[in-house]
């Protein structure tokens, strides 16, 4: 009898389990307010997501209500499911008192990216830094490091990139051409000037002090090597530069991508077939423009341009947004989440987010199709 009762009990328990409703997945509605665990719109713009030991960490610019300058610093939020976000506070605060600090309150800190270094077991953050009161002139990259994903990160320093180094794939002829280029000799925006920009007019100008870097991305490849991808040369040309083993500096090995193509906001991902894909924007400041897309068989190129991957209403304006990151969905092959920002320069903290799954055409080309509402179930 006892045994019968036990079997009956076990059956009931199983039935209950089978019938209990699955936890509802929350819809992702791009462009709307996304409240965090305190009911406040997530304040992590131009950011990235790092998946580490079962948790997603979302880093981004804290934007205030009235200015796009950094008044607080870089934020961190955590989540187990990509829809419920806990505010973990400021991962890298601005400096409040020491006016000699690069990151004194009022500077510009943009597009922070965080990667994990398996060798050093440190979390490394790079971001675009502009010095206080200098507009966008400095075009520096800054680096910080932490033992834990939520920080606080230790600010290490900032500067231009790869001083004294030329792209490793530049031929002898291309190097010789540089000698003929002189910024003073050209009138901005003329055909001759444009040709000179392609040849490396600004590359040469900045050779000694290091290359400019504004909008930027980090990418860790399957072999553990990390790369820094950034809009350089007055935002005309992208650079892809290798980071040192500790991810804290550059090795000096880099290539130029799409010279004079005016690409910003690079977001890069790699498919299982080994193809690298990169979605970028044009250069129109906070105003949205048409996304661009490139692919390459190696991180070093050659990079081939493809048509705009966006499909749907306002596809020619990236749905009103600008690319910021592509998150590979952990544990799934060729599953990627495209992330973009809808900027609100008059009310920066009210900037919104666009998250859409990346789809693939039969020939393997990525497509980003607008969806008013979707859930993470999409990736199952």
Residue 264 Cβ vs ligand GAL, minimum distance, rounded to whole Å = 5
- Looking at 183-191, 250-258, 283-291, 355-363, which segment touches ligand GAL (CB under 6 A)? 283-291
Which CB sits closer to ligand GAL, 108 or 181?
108
Contact between 134 and ligand GAL per CB under 6 A: no
What residues from 239 to 278 belong to the interface with ligand GAL (CB under 6 A)?
264-265
From candidates 51, 186, 193, 286, binder to ligand GAL by CB under 6 A: 286
From candidates 110, 206, 233, 234, binder to ligand GAL by CB under 6 A: 110
Which residue matches tokens 């290539």? 255
Contact between 288 and ligand GAL per CB under 6 A: no
Contact between 88 and ligand GAL per CB under 6 A: no
Q: How distant, in Å, are the alpha carbons of 64, 265, 353, 360 from that of 346?
A: 10, 20, 16, 36
Which CB sits closer to ligand GAL, 139 or 181?
139
What residues from 20 to 59 belong to the interface with ligand GAL (CB under 6 A)?
46
Burial of 321 (0-12, 13-18, 19+ CB in 10 A): buried
Distance CA 166, CA 10 (A): 70
- Looking at 146-154, 196-204, 238-246, 279-287, which segment touches ligand GAL (CB under 6 A)? 279-287
Which CB sits closer to ligand GAL, 48 or 265?
265
Helices (H), the chain: 2-19, 172-178, 191-199, 201-205
Contact between 318 and ligand GAL per CB under 6 A: no
Distance CA 218, CA 313 (A): 30
Burial of 224 (0-12, 13-18, 19+ CB in 10 A): exposed
Contact between 112 and ligand GAL per CB under 6 A: no
Q: Going residue by residue from 204 to 233, which x/- string records binding to ligand GAL, judged by CB under 6 A?
A: -----------x------------------
DSSP labels, 159-189: E-BSTT---TT--HHHHHHHTT--GGGS-TT
List, edge to edge, every strand of the sheet that includes 226-232. 216-220, 226-232, 237-243, 250-257
Strand-strand pairing, 310-311 and 366-369: parallel
Contact between 234 and ligand GAL per CB under 6 A: no
Contact between 322 and ligand GAL per CB under 6 A: yes
- Looking at 180-188, 189-197, 281-289, 356-364, which segment touches ligand GAL (CB under 6 A)? 281-289
CA contacts within 13 A on the Cβ side of 79: 16
Residue 130 Cβ vs ligand GAL, minimum distance, rounded to whole Å = 8
Q: Beta partners for 162?
A: none
Contact between 330 and ligand GAL per CB under 6 A: no
Chain contacts with ligand GAL (rule: CB under 6 A): 46, 110-111, 215, 264-265, 283, 285-286, 322
């Amino acid at each position: 009898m006892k045994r019968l009762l036990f079997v009956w009990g076990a059956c009931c328990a199983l039935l209950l389990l089978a019938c209990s409703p699955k936890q509802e997945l929350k819809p992702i509605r791009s462009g709307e307010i996304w409240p965090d665990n305190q009911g406040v719109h997530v304040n992590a713009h131009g950011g990235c997501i790092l998946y580490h030991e079962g948790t997603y960490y979302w880093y981004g610019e804290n934007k205030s209500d009235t200015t796009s300058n950094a008044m607080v610093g870089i934020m961190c939020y955590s989540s187990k499911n990509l829809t419920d976000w806990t505010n973990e506070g400021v991962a890298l605060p601005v400096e409040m008192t020491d006016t000699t600090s690069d990151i004194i309150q009022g500077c510009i800190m943009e597009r922070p990216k965080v990667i994990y270094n398996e060798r050093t077991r440190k979390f490394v953050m790079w971001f675009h830094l502009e010095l206080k009161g200098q507009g966008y002139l400095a075009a520096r990259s800054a680096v910080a490091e932490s033992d834990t994903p939520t920080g606080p990160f230790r600010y290490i320093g900032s500067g231009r990139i790869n001083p004294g180094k030329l792209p490793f794939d530049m031929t002898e002829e291309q190097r010789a051409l540089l000698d003929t280029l002189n910024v003073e000799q050209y009138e901005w925006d003329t055909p001759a000037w444009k040709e000179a920009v392609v040849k490396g007019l600004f590359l040469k100008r900045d050779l000694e002090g290091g290359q400019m870097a504004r909008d930027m991305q980090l990418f860790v490849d399957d072999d553990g090597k990390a790369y820094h991808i950034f809009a350089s040369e007055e935002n005309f040309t992208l650079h892809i530069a290798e980071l040192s083993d500790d991810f804290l500096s550059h090795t000096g090995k880099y290539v130029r991508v799409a010279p004079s193509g005016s690409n910003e906001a690079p977001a890069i991902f790699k498919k299982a077939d080994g193809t690298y894909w990169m979605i970028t924007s044009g250069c129109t400041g906070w105003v949205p423009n048409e996304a661009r897309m490139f692919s390459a068989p190696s991180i070093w190129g050659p990079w081939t341009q493809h048509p705009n991957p966006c499909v749907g209403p306002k596809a020619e304006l990236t749905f009103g947004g600008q690319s910021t990151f592509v998150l590979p969905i952990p544990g799934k092959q060729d599953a990627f989440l495209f992330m973009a920002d809808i900027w609100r320069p008059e009310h920066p903290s009210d900037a919104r987010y666009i998250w859409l799954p990346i789809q693939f055409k039969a020939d393997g080309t990525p497509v980003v199709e607008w969806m008013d509402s979707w859930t993470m179930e999409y990736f199952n």
